[in-house]
Amino acid sequence: MRLVVQDAPVLKSAIESIVCLVEEGQFEVKKDGLYLKAMDPSQISMVSFRMPKEAFVEYDAPEEMTIGVDIGQLSNVLSRGKKGEKAELSIEDGRLVIRFFGQKHKRTFKVPLIETGERSQKEPAIEFNNWATIKADALKETLKDAKLVSSHIRLQLTPDLFIVDVRGENGDVKAEFEKGGEELMELNTKEGSKATFPLQYLEDMVKATASGAAVKINLETDRPLKLEYSVEGAKVVYYLAPRIETD
């Protein structure tokens, strides 16, 4: 196995979308790309990651394999990659080798592979009929506002609005994004939908988004949320269980 990206920080940014939720996991190296599906330790959220072979300048995977790694440790090593350096992943003597190299300069890190004991996860079989696509910066700022008053956040879709409604002991916050506005890029719903979620998880999920990125939020009433975006050629999908409330 030999996987190479042109610019080392690109790989760091992509892996950042996983480390926000998962401490360890199993990468699947397939013919068409690098995959990972894992639950967070609390078992209320899930990340599904795919980095296609086209995101690499070299992708040599003669046979499919599974690689268990400490995601935090991998992220820390990848943070040492510098702009202008290539980053290479390979396996040697039962260890994952991360190699950074530029012109006449090479650095090599080796980290142990681990046995996660995790079975391959399946994504929830939910049909999503309601969704909104919003700019990442707008969503991040709204989550910062919400954090001032509560640890939970209610998301709602109407035919004309994407609404973030937060109520807590320290007050209320409500943000409304109108269909056709600059920040709300897409809105699709007929009957509307709403659900409440833990705020910290949503903050973690969008942490890896780039400025101006599009975040798609799939929302059904009191069902798990599906949140997805692209980062450095990788596609990331998250699922988050709702907090069931009685009005």
Give the CATH number of domain 131-240: 3.70.10.10
In 3D space, the residue among 54, 53, 27 whose CA is nearest the CA of residue 38 turns out to be 27
The per-residue pLDDT for range 55-90, each reduced to its tens digit, is 999 999 999 999 999 999 999 999 999 999 999 999
pTM (predicted TM-score): 0.94
Measured in degrees and rounded to the nearest 5, phi and psi for residue 132 equal -135, 145
> How far apart are alpha carbons 85 and 148 in whole angstroms?
40
The per-residue pLDDT for range 204-241, each reduced to its tens digit, is 999 999 888 999 999 999 999 999 999 999 999 999 99
Question: Nearest 5 degrees, angle CA 154-CA 155-CA 157?
Answer: 145
Task: Judge: domain 2-112, CATH 2.60.120.10.
Answer: no
Strand partners, 195: 155
> How far apart are alpha carbons 200 and 74 in whole angstroms?
23
> Cβ(219)–Cβ(225) under 8 Å?
yes
Domain ranges for the chain, please list them: 2-112, 131-240
In 3D space, the residue among 1, 3, 121 whose CA is nearest the CA of residue 57 turns out to be 3
Strand partners, 157: 162, 193
The per-residue pLDDT for range 104-142, each reduced to its tens digit, is 899 999 999 998 766 667 888 899 999 999 999 999 999
Q: Tell me the pLDDT band of 169, cut-offs 50, 70 and 90.
A: confident
